[in-house]
Chains A and B, each alone.
Chain A
Amino acid sequence: MGVRKLSVADKIYSSVNYALLLLFCLTALYPFIYFLALSFNDGYDAMKGSIYFYPRVATLENYSKAFNNPLILQSFWISVSRTLVVTIGSTLLTALLAYGLSRKGLPGRKYIVFFFFFTTLFSGGLIPTFILYRELHILNTYWVLVLPSLYSFFNAIIMKTFFDGIPIGLSESARIDGASELSVFWRIILPLSMPVMATIALFVGVGVWNDWFTGQFFIQNENLQPAATFLNKMISEASFTSMTGSSSGSSIKNMNENQMALRGVTPEALRMTFVIIITTPIILVYPFLQKYFVKGVLVGSLKE
């Protein structure tokens, strides 16, 4: 951009623009700051209100209760392990699929692409999927947390488009030198594709990390529920009473053992804490991958 003189109108325009953007960014950030402050504040004190940016009665009690609760730790562990397994598995498998789809001259490629594409247009829906899981006997097992999340056609297309951009001469010459398809893929394509691999890994990872649905409806075993599901249950169990502000004696009677173990901190404060715990990994990771995924999304969405 050349250096232009800014007119008064330009200046007004751009200050309004900056002000609005700043306002939007504040609204995007503020809820997390608010929760951060509340999670470090004593729960009973927080009930008085008026905590906006920083804790009034600072305490680590909420975090220590959260990290000492076996059920929370277990759900956290389930989420971490599930996220790792699915992210690695899905990224590699999707890359293999995308590599295949990107190979020019592959006999029947048009039909193969349609076979996969069609699933984005029409799906069996929830109940047939539920019945499928039942017939596969993966309901209420770790498998249901992993298997259904392995492929996504959208991700495959993003990767395929990236592979399309790799000069064909590279893999060609390796093949002439006698490299097998697998070693071409492993030694040439993958190392060149790290940006898109990182992008897809982030998408898959975040998606799985945030998924509460699978745990909610396909898992009954408390020891298998992912953190997002746990958070959701934590909300819905206590939410109505706390949202309306009427906590009666019956809610204490209904508390189970694990909830009893959490006494001493308010359920509210614990929820704030859990939101921070579950969000932190994402906030830490995504800014570093930003330059990749911005490119990745573009490649995948603009072309083709």
Chain B
Amino acid sequence: MIAKEARTEVLPEVLPVTKNKTWSKVWSFRHIYLFMLPAFIWYLVFCYYPMYGVLIAFKDFKYNLGILGSPWEGFRYFEQFLSDSSFYSVLYNTLSISFLKLLFGFPAPLILALMLNGVMHGKLKRIFQTISYLPHFVSWVVVVTLMQKILSPNVGLVNDIRDHMGMEPIFFMGMPSLFYPLVIISDIWKGVGWGSIIYLAALTNIDPHLYEAAEMDGAGRWSKLFKITLPCLTPTIGILLIFSLSGVLNAGFDQIWLMQTPATLSVSEILDTYVLKTGIQQGQFAYSTAIGLFKSAISLLLIVLVNKVSKKVSDVSLW
């Protein structure tokens, strides 16, 4: 009881003359509000104002008329992209890339974490970890440059080796059939080490007694993995899965934009790159905002839905 008492806030001794307790409490926190004021303003300007800006998806936007002043167009732009066949191929590409990333990329950090966990030598484990984080800290620009060079038909590493072996060079980055494998491999390469951190932490939180008890009962490596390790990691896996599922419409803008070549456009155009091209490069602001809004709305819906389902099924949720 006493301990609890001590945890409540200390109010200034001289309270302003007001009957209202709430306001005097607010007043006592005035400095804290002041600390948060810049953040408040920043979020209003840089996050909430653009949210209001999505109105232009329903408008025939003209700069000189402003967002509110521009004439309404209703759902014209939504109808336009829903009847546009290239929209469906873009949507299809986005979903394909996302699902492939989820399928192959999601388990990768977990596997790496389990492997790292099997390294008993502490120093070696740290070295492995440090190296595995490295790609995460490098820009996609650099990663794609690395890929372009290594895979270049003009004495890139891979084609150089193929040449030594008497094989014909391949223009890897320009082949639509190789685009998805390259996207997935590079995505895993870049993110797997970083992604494993969370799992590693969760692994250290597992009570070692569980393993000891299981060993007494004669459990082998695999039964320990499936009966103890994985069940203990389920909440972590769940949270991360919620995040990935809700980002299904983000196929990874940076990576895709940088890896795209004119030859691979048919498979590499995703919602985000399409929005950028129609919007900033072609100046179709309203049309492109409509697509962006469509994407944000679906994403929001997804995250709420997935969170709800997860809460019900496994008690794991973001909020």
Interface residues in chain A, defined as those with a beta carbon under 8 Å from any beta carbon in chain B: 1, 9-10, 13-14, 17-18, 20-21, 24-25, 27-29, 31-32, 34-35, 38, 46-50, 52, 93-94, 96-97, 99-101, 103-108, 112, 115-117, 119, 121-132, 134, 136, 147-148, 150-151, 156, 168-169, 172, 175-176, 180-182, 185, 206, 209-213, 217, 228, 231-232, 235, 239-240, 242-245, 268, 271-272, 275, 278-279, 282-283, 286-287, 290, 294, 297-298, 301-302
Interface residue from A29, A106, A117 paired with B32 (Cβ < 8 Å): A106
Asked if residues B141 and A103 are in contact (CB atoms below 8 Å), the reply is: no
Asked if residues A243 and B171 are in contact (CB atoms below 8 Å), the reply is: yes
Interface residues in chain B, defined as those with a beta carbon under 8 Å from any beta carbon in chain A: 6-10, 22, 25-26, 29, 31-33, 35-36, 38-40, 42-43, 45-54, 56, 63, 67, 112, 115-116, 118-120, 127-135, 137-142, 144-146, 148-150, 152-155, 157, 160, 163-164, 171, 173-174, 189, 192-193, 197-198, 201-202, 205, 221, 236, 239, 254, 258, 261-262, 272, 275-276, 279-280, 285, 288-289, 292-293, 295-297, 299-300, 303-304, 319
Residues of A within 8 Å of B160, CB to CB, are 49-50
Q: In the bound complex, what is the Cα–Cα distance between A105 and B32 (angstroms)?
A: 11
Q: How far is the CB of A62 from chain B (nearest CB, A)?
A: 14
**Main SS of the interface on chain A?**
helix
Asked if residues B201 and A244 are in contact (CB atoms below 8 Å), the reply is: no
Q: In the bound complex, what is the Cα–Cα distance between A99 and B201 (angstroms)?
A: 25
Asked if residues B29 and A103 are in contact (CB atoms below 8 Å), the reply is: yes
- Name which residue of chain B comes closest to A46, CB basis: B155
Q: List 20 A-B contacts (CB under 8 A).
A: A25-B132, A46-B155, A50-B164, A93-B39, A96-B35, A97-B39, A105-B9, A116-B39, A124-B49, A126-B272, A127-B289, A151-B42, A151-B43, A176-B10, A180-B31, A181-B32, A232-B258, A235-B145, A272-B149, A294-B201
- Name which residue of chain B comes closest to A34, CB basis: B157
Q: How far is the CB of B280 from chain A (nearest CB, A)?
A: 6
Interface residue from A52, A129, A271 paired with B50 (Cβ < 8 Å): A129
Asked if residues A228 and B141 are in contact (CB atoms below 8 Å), the reply is: yes
Asked if residues B134 and A28 are in contact (CB atoms below 8 Å), the reply is: yes
Q: In the bound complex, what is the Cα–Cα distance between A17 and B128 (angstroms)?
A: 12
Interface residue from B144, B289, B303 paired with A128 (Cβ < 8 Å): B289
Beyond the given A17-B118, A240-B261, A243-B154, please list 17 additional residue pairs across the A-B interface where CB-CB is below 8 A. Answer: A24-B112, A47-B155, A50-B155, A105-B9, A122-B300, A128-B53, A129-B46, A132-B45, A136-B45, A151-B39, A210-B141, A211-B139, A228-B141, A235-B148, A286-B137, A290-B130, A297-B197
Asked if residues A123 and B31 are in contact (CB atoms below 8 Å), the reply is: no
Q: In the bound complex, what is the Cα–Cα distance between A90 and B138 (angstroms)?
A: 20
Q: In the bound complex, what is the Cα–Cα distance between A20 and B8 (angstroms)?
A: 53
Asked if residues B141 and A17 are in contact (CB atoms below 8 Å), the reply is: no
A1-B120, A129-B50, A243-B171 known; A231 vs B293 contact (CB < 8 Å)? no
Residues of A within 8 Å of B130, CB to CB, are 287, 290
Q: In the bound complex, what is the Cα–Cα distance between A117 and B157 (angstroms)?
A: 46
Asked if residues B155 and A49 are in contact (CB atoms below 8 Å), the reply is: yes
Q: In the bound complex, what is the Cα–Cα distance between A116 and B48 (angstroms)?
A: 10
Interface residue from B7, B53, B137 paired with A132 (Cβ < 8 Å): B53
Asked if residues B42 and A298 are in contact (CB atoms below 8 Å), the reply is: no
- Name which residue of chain A comes closest to B220, CB basis: A9
Residues of B within 8 Å of A14, CB to CB, are 118, 120
Asked if residues A283 and B134 are in contact (CB atoms below 8 Å), the reply is: yes
- Name which residue of chain B comes closest to A112, CB basis: B36
Asked if residues A107 and B47 are in contact (CB atoms below 8 Å), the reply is: no
- Name which residue of chain B comes closest to A283, CB basis: B134
Residues of B within 8 Å of A49, CB to CB, are 155, 160, 163
Interface residue from B49, B171, B189 paired with A244 (Cβ < 8 Å): B171
Asked if residues A103 and B32 are in contact (CB atoms below 8 Å), the reply is: yes
**Main SS of the interface on chain B?**
helix
Q: In the bound complex, what is the Cα–Cα distance between A112 and B156 (angstroms)?
A: 53
Q: In the bound complex, what is the Cα–Cα distance between A100 and B39 (angstroms)?
A: 10
Asked if residues B142 and A279 are in contact (CB atoms below 8 Å), the reply is: yes
Asked if residues B48 and A119 are in contact (CB atoms below 8 Å), the reply is: yes
Residues of A within 8 Å of B119, CB to CB, are 17-18, 21
- Name which residue of chain B comes closest to A89, CB basis: B38
- Name which residue of chain B comes closest to A203, CB basis: B137
Q: In the bound complex, what is the Cα–Cα distance between A100 and B31 (angstroms)?
A: 9
Q: How far is the CB of B18 from chain A (nearest CB, A)?
A: 14
Asked if residues B46 and A147 are in contact (CB atoms below 8 Å), the reply is: yes
Asked if residues A125 and B293 are in contact (CB atoms below 8 Å), the reply is: yes
Asked if residues A100 and B36 are in contact (CB atoms below 8 Å), the reply is: yes
A116-B43, A290-B133 known; A243 vs B173 contact (CB < 8 Å)? yes
Residues of B within 8 Å of A168, CB to CB, are 7
Asked if residues B221 and A13 are in contact (CB atoms below 8 Å), the reply is: yes
Q: In the bound complex, what is the Cα–Cα distance between A209 and B173 (angstroms)?
A: 26
A96-B39, A231-B141 known; A31 vs B150 contact (CB < 8 Å)? yes
Asked if residues B135 and A28 are in contact (CB atoms below 8 Å), the reply is: yes
A96-B36, A119-B48 known; A169 vs B6 contact (CB < 8 Å)? yes
Asked if residues A35 and B285 are in contact (CB atoms below 8 Å), the reply is: no
Interface residue from A21, A126, A127, A128 paired with B128 (Cβ < 8 Å): A21
Q: In the bound complex, what is the Cα–Cα distance between A272 and B156 (angstroms)?
A: 12
- Name which residue of chain B comes closest to A2, CB basis: B212
Q: In the bound complex, what is the Cα–Cα distance between A104 and B202 (angstroms)?
A: 27
- Name which residue of chain B comes closest to A50, CB basis: B160
Asked if residues B35 and A99 are in contact (CB atoms below 8 Å), the reply is: yes
Asked if residues B138 and A210 are in contact (CB atoms below 8 Å), the reply is: yes
